[in-house]
Structure 1
Amino acid sequence: MTLLKTAVDTSSPDYQGNRDAMLAKLDELSDEHAKALAGGGEKYVDRHHARGKLLARERIELLLDPDTAFLELSPLAAWGSDFAVGASIITGIGVVEGVECLIVANDPTVKGGSSNPWTMRKGARANDIARQNRLPVISLVESGGADLPTQKEIFIPGGRAFRDLTQLSADGIPTIAIVFGNSTAGGAYIPGMSDHVVMIKEQSKVFLAGPPLVKMATGEDADDESLGGAEMHSRTSGLADYFAADEHDALRIGRRIVARLNWRKEGPAPSAEVTAPAYDDDDLLGVVPGDLKVPFDPREVIARVVDGSDFDEFKALYGSSLVTGWAQVHGYPVGILANARGVLFSEEAQKATQFIQLANRSSTPLLFLHNTTGYMVGAEYEQAGIIKHGAMMINAVSNSKVPHISVLMGASYGAGHYGMCGRAFDPRFLFAWPSAKSAVMGGAQLAGVLSIVARASAAAKGNPYDEEGDAAIRKIVEDQIEAESLPAVLSGRLYDDGIIDPRDTRTVLGLCLSAIASGPVEGADGFGVFRM
């Protein structure tokens, strides 16, 4: 066993300072997560309960197998926007009758579960995860349809939800809809396009147009039940496949549907024996410095995440700013690429390219641990070929076919974000620590570049340069970039799948790798042209 050693001194002032800074960030994020958990607030939660209905999260809990985890996705969606944190929908991966499923639940306490632009984006991301990882989809439906004041942002892209359901079905991925209340207008197509549909007596309402709109359009007088009640759809239209007595019965039926799917994983099974890391995951709170300009050794993270802290490092003496090697997480094999000192040089890019090729040859999933300021700049490095070597690494990441998982621990700037498989490169999952920041470059660097350009422009025109104004502008720009780089901002825009407590990293990775194994894991047969 190649056991990683640790140099973390949990009693040192630096460690304690780092830990305090991380805990403060976690406290701030806890307040934001609480907003998503609160739904529409106490008033609407109480009103929902008074109607004898379960909350969306209560429905999920009853649907899942007892004492199993629920990996919630994009919980801070819409953060910083005019809409409720969470985007009036809950998405995540959970185990139902032993089968990992992608679960989507409308939150009817938030504007009746109506869909806003962020709801569309969050739902689309969930469907991507289901398709990429071959996960059955269970929709817990109760929605008033589109948030009409924002229809111009919803109507056109909203059709993707229908396309996704039909394509999932065509790909052999089961889709199940359990209707708990309204599913009207465009929302009526959610059950209409699902493989299996459960409706609840005197509670489910599925119609293209409710009584008022029917009256306006046709002059016909009709009630909810005759238009779209559960009994009508069970006896007359045939839209409902199962008629449930109440919500608990509907969830029971939903579980039985999954049990009868005869679903089997197509990916590799984990090792029978799994050894916990040799070091305490609590140590991860103090590993990342509060100042991201200060480097840290990612091996300290790897040692607290991988099985038995056992890591076979690849090219340990070459390209030392990037750590690469092989390990297992919860019994699943992984290849790891982790930034060590921020900057990526030509050696690191070439090392990463070879390593990614080897991972594809052995069909081994890749884990990218980000803390990079990007590829090195300067005349010496340009002449040495940093562009073509960086492009080589990005080519390898782009055309790699094995599943990728990315975790942003610290900085993730510039093209380094791309080379380390950022969001645009479709990792199966991407999570961030509260310490993470991501942007074109750091705030001070970006403000400095703008200052240099402005100074040169003034000199070219023969004008005096306003030093005081320059300092003020630099401060404004730096503050703006720092604010826009924070993980809550990026998570709110769905640029990650959630911000996680560093101590939960191993658990989250294990859940992701298990979900990935629902589908086949295969490497690429070939890559694009590598410029040598």
Structure 2
Amino acid sequence: MPVLKSVLDPSDETFESNREAQLRVIADLDAQLDLVRAGGGERYAERHRKRGRLLVRERVELLVDRDSPFLELSALAAWGTEFTVGASILTGIGVVSGVECVIIGHDPTVRGGAMNPYTLRKTLRALEIARTNRLPVINLVESGGADLPTQSELFVRAGKIFHDLTELSAMGVPTLALVFGNSTAGGAYVPGMCDYAVLVDGHAKVFLGGPPLVKMATGEEADDEALGGADMHSRVSGLSDHFAVDEIDCIRIGRQIVSEFNWRKLGPGPTQPADPPLYDPAELLGIAPPDFRVPVDPHEVLARVVDGSRFGEYKPLYGTSLVTGWASIHGFPVGVLANARGVLFSEEAKKASEFILLANQTNTPLIFLQNTTGYMVGTTYEQGGIIKDGAKMINAVTNSKVPHITINIGASFGAGNYGMSGRAYDPRFMFAWANAKLAVMGAQQLAGVMSIVGRQSAESSGRDFDADADAARTKQIEEQIERESHAFFVTARLYDDGVIDPRDTRTILGMSLSAAHSQVVEGRRGFGVFRM
């Protein structure tokens, strides 16, 4: 396979300017991640420790295999909202006793681990990842239940958690609950619906109704231990499969249970040499400019991401605004679709459609590197069939069955987001560089469109056009779209699975591909109607 030759000059002023801009947004990202790791803050962390409890990240660190990586998901959920960034729960993929598992851990230092609307979204996304990739699930349970003031946004959809746990079990995907503290009311069904449950002595409290509710409902005087303690559930109710004397023992038992799953991946393992790229991944910081309107050469990105910088390009002279071709990442063969100059023309759409069909023929996963402003508009292009050609590409993306992994490295606007396997098209994983933007279109373009529409409306109705008011409205709209297209705003609403440092792109793709290969990797042989 041909080897990419980089022409990037790290001493160039443009490179250094791009690098400085990336480092600024990465510093912003790191500051937010520090807040996520802090949970409810030192005061609540210390109070938690004094109760003899481990913090959620300490539990995860002890649970996963020594020195193995942990791919955290949706880290900035709830950013910019009234809720604590991170949404009082930790989710991710880690290796436990040699098995890749989805781990869902409540953070009891944040409002007692209570579930708010963003906690729910984050939990459901983690369970979706487990289901589509066939990954066992480990719940680290300690939660005060629902955030009652927001119950109207929680109650109906929260039942999906129990639905998904039982669906995973029916699929033969193991689920495990390690109960470290409160698991009350609806939360009691998490250990109840998992295949395995381990409860910690003196700490675990699993009941549908606590002592106050029981008193109100029945008049009975009851205590926590008799209602839902680990000893009672281990000896009397049978809810608990294992009685743990403390948290360390609970984690030990959990690791033992996973080791006894006799788990096997259904997808093939790596088949290509997993040698590192020939070029330094740190140079990715100097490739992407802060202005999404400036093109990015995806060959330079791929040269720092794929194995050995090897890339077999498909149709290199046709539809050159989209780069397509074959490579491998950490030994897993992949097909790549990467935007080169932002706009997708008819040629790019048809090229993408053919390439996706080929990937499905050979059961090859697809990597989408988004940096697109959408499909081309204008009389010539409409008459040339851009709608039909864009529909072909979206058809191919929709019906493709091989795993898709999408990374937004610059911009993801308009229907280009759909054609490049955006969130609505169910990629197995989707991440964004910290500089990325996502919206229906760029802020200036959208504000300009609104201004033109306002001017035409005034003219058609015979009203005077207020230029000053229009300028103020345009500025307000630009600011709104800039805010709402920001990578943090987007990931806060779980429109992707996390904002990442560009230097981690290869590692994250490798971990995502490995997780995806826990499931069968097989392409579709029959597609829908392609508009000709």
> If the length of structure 2 is used for normalisation, what is the TM-score?
0.99
Give 1:199 deviation, angstroms: 0.6
Asked if 1 retains the 8 angstrom alpha-carbon contact of 2:284 and 2:503, the reply is yes
Q: How far apart in 2 are the matches of 1:272 and 1:408?
A: 26
Q: How far apart in 1 are the matches of 2:106 and 2:73?
A: 14
1:225-264 maps to which residues of 2 (within 5 A)? 225-264=225-264
Give 1:463 deviation, angstroms: 2.5
Asked if 1 retains the 8 angstrom alpha-carbon contact of 2:273 and 2:307, the reply is no
1:123-138 maps to which residues of 2 (within 5 A)? 123-138=123-138
Partner of 1:298: 298
Q: How far apart in 1 are the matches of 2:136 and 2:229?
A: 26
- Show CA shifts across 1:230-255 (max 9, x none): 00000000000001111000000000
Partner of 2:188: 188
Partner of 1:380: 380
Q: How far apart in 2 are the matches of 1:220 and 1:479?
A: 58
Q: How far apart in 2 are the matches of 1:69 and 1:313?
A: 31
Partner of 1:338: 338
Q: Can you give the 5+ residue segments of structure 2 that lack an aligned partner in the other structure?
A: none
Q: How far apart in 2 are the matches of 1:273 and 1:11?
A: 31
Give 1:88 deviation, angstroms: 0.5
Partner of 2:363: 363
Q: How far apart in 2 are the matches of 1:269 and 1:107?
A: 34
Give 1:77 deviation, angstroms: 0.4
Q: Does 1:41 align with 2:38?
A: no
Q: How far apart in 1 are the matches of 2:410 and 2:330?
A: 24
Partner of 2:84: 84
Partner of 1:198: 198
Partner of 2:165: 165
Partner of 1:474: 474
- Show CA shifts across 1:295-324 (max 9, x none): 110111011000000000000000000000
Partner of 1:13: 13
Q: How far apart in 2 are the matches of 1:284 and 1:146?
A: 42
Q: How far apart in 2 are the matches of 1:273 and 1:433?
A: 27
Residue identity (%):
64
Give 1:461 deviation, angstroms: 2.4
Partner of 2:434: 434
Q: How far apart in 2 are the matches of 1:153 and 1:455?
A: 40
SS state at 2:75 partner: coil
Cα RMSD after superposing both structures: 0.7
Q: How far apart in 1 are the matches of 2:444 and 2:368?
A: 26
Give 1:272 deviation, angstroms: 6.4
Q: How far apart in 1 are the matches of 2:366 and 2:65?
A: 29
- Show CA shifts across 1:25-53 (max 9, x none): 00111111111111111110000001111
SS state at 2:139 partner: strand
Q: Which amino acid aligns with 2:265?
A: K
Q: How far apart in 2 are the matches of 1:181 and 1:442?
A: 47
Q: Which amino acid aligns with 2:82?
A: D
Q: Can you give the 5+ residue segments of structure 1 that lack an aligned partner in the other structure?
A: none
Between stretches 473-482 and 495-504, larger displacement belongs to 473-482
Q: How far apart in 2 are the matches of 1:146 and 1:459?
A: 53
1:56-71 maps to which residues of 2 (within 5 A)? 56-71=56-71
Q: Which amino acid aligns with 1:238?
A: G
Q: Which amino acid aligns with 1:165?
A: L
Q: How far apart in 2 are the matches of 1:453 and 1:110?
A: 46
Partner of 1:497: 497
SS state at 1:159 partner: helix
Give 1:271 deviation, angstroms: 2.6
Give 1:473 deviation, angstroms: 1.3
Q: How far apart in 2 are the matches of 1:82 and 1:74?
A: 17
Q: Which amino acid aligns with 2:26?
A: L
SS state at 2:364 partner: coil
Q: Does 1:460 align with 2:455?
A: no
Partner of 2:509: 509
- Show CA shifts across 1:265-297 (max 9, x none): 110110363211000000000100111111110
Q: Does 1:404 align with 2:428?
A: no
Q: How far apart in 2 are the matches of 1:353 and 1:411?
A: 21
Structure 1 runs (4+) greater than 3 angstroms displaced? none
How many residues end up aligned between the 2 structures? 532
Q: How far apart in 1 are the matches of 2:461 and 2:10?
A: 56
Partner of 1:307: 307
Q: Does 1:24 align with 2:15?
A: no
Give 1:487 deviation, angstroms: 0.4
Q: Which amino acid aligns with 1:239?
A: L
Q: Which amino acid aligns with 1:46?
A: E
> If the length of structure 1 is used for normalisation, what is the TM-score?
0.99
Q: Which amino acid aligns with 1:263?
A: W
Give 1:144 deviation, angstroms: 0.7
